[in-house]
Amino acid sequence: MDTTLPRQVFDTEALPPGERFGWWLEMLARTPGLMRVRTDHADNFVARAEFLGLGPMQVIRHRYPSLDGIRTRKLIQRSDADCYVLALTLTGTGVADQDGQRGICPPGDFTFYDCARPQELSHHTDTGDGPPASSLVAFIPYDALPLPHRRLTPLFAGRMSGSAGVGGLLADFLVRLTSRPEQYHAADAERLGGIGLDLVATLLGRNLVSEDAVPTEIRRRALVVQVRAYVQQHLGDATLDPGTIADAHHVSVRSLHRLFEDEETTVAAYIRDERLARCRRDLADPALGDRSIQVIAARWGFRDKAHFSRAFRAAYTETPQAYRARHLDRARIVNTTASAVNSTRTY
């Protein structure tokens, strides 16, 4: 039984060149993004689309030659249009036009539009011999976002950064999910979709004149994701503590502690547990067998050897030395057995 995230892949390279573009259009017609597409590569349209289901949100990672598209009122009537689209340009340059607004999006930027309104889109590679155009597209039902539809109108076809702040966190989240979907379980789809929607709502709120449109609980959950990502990126910094985290996110230490009240851990405990998990991983890695325990501990922010040993034993019921010896001995036995088996083979 497949327990990974639900996904479906369309790759035109499996077809003869003359059939590729038509097949791509048929695939596109089954999505809420039905469009009339023009391209100079219709005779050999090498493209790929990977669909991921994340609860109410569907994410598609596209790769295709340069193209232009238009969505008319007639096409809108033929498709399920009650949704928004959030698109992240990965390579090439994307351009979106809707309601008299235009967003020009280089790699790393988002654009956002309404499927129920006519729009024009284009996505072109930057050079003729460069990589194909690629993007990440999320289809989001209206009722999946806790934001009034009328409030979002100023954002349609706009450009939003996907390289800093919440936009950068959302871009990293989507890229990681779609790059290695096999690493995630089907049972996690709803939860992952919920995290994505919280980040989308917060990104849109940040780009509105006021963030008041974003419910408090959504902002809280999005900030928790930001804090967790920040901790992961700075575990090796021995000065990382609730004070530095609060300063980095422009909140008080008291507010940071309140933020974690519903997370079944404290900020300090989360930092410690993540550091210990990284140390445990490195101690069991044969490739790091020549590094001292103290060096590994210091790498992940533990300056005091005795403190690290006490914390490690409290978490894992054995000393770092014993844990390392047990796992490295096991690795040596596995490698010795594999070598013995290989040496007895005849060819």
Tokens of 33: 């993004």
Beta carbons within 10 angstroms of residue 145's beta carbon = 24
Which residue matches tokens 């596209």?
Answer: 62
Report the amino acid identity of residue 304: D
- Sequence spans of domains, the chain: 7-209, 276-340
Can you give the pLDDT at residue 1? 45
How many other C-beta atoms lie within 10 A of the C-beta of residue 222?
Answer: 24
pLDDT digits (tens, 9 = 90+) for 110-139: 999 999 999 999 999 876 666 899 999 999
Confidence band (pLDDT; 50, 70, 90) for 327? Answer: confident
CATH fold for domain 7-209:
Jelly Rolls (2.60.120)
Is the pTM of the predicted complex or chain greater than 0.85?
no
Q: For residue 5, give every residue at least 6 positions away whose Cβ sits within 8 Å of its Cβ, in sequence order, or none.
A: 52, 53, 54, 177, 181, 182, 184, 185, 186, 188, 189, 192
> Does the pLDDT of residue 341 top 50, yes or no?
no
Q: What is the pLDDT of residue 347?
A: 40
E strand or H helix at 71? strand 67-71
Query: Cα angle vertex 342, ends 339, 343, to 5°?
Result: 85
| pLDDT tens digits along 257-288 | 988 887 888 999 999 999 999 999 999 998 88
The two structure tokens encoding residue 307:
């403190």
State the chain's mean pLDDT as an integer: 87
Give the pLDDT score at 129: 65
- List pLDDT tens digits, range 169-178: 999 999 999 9
pLDDT band at residue 333 under the 50/70/90 scheme: low
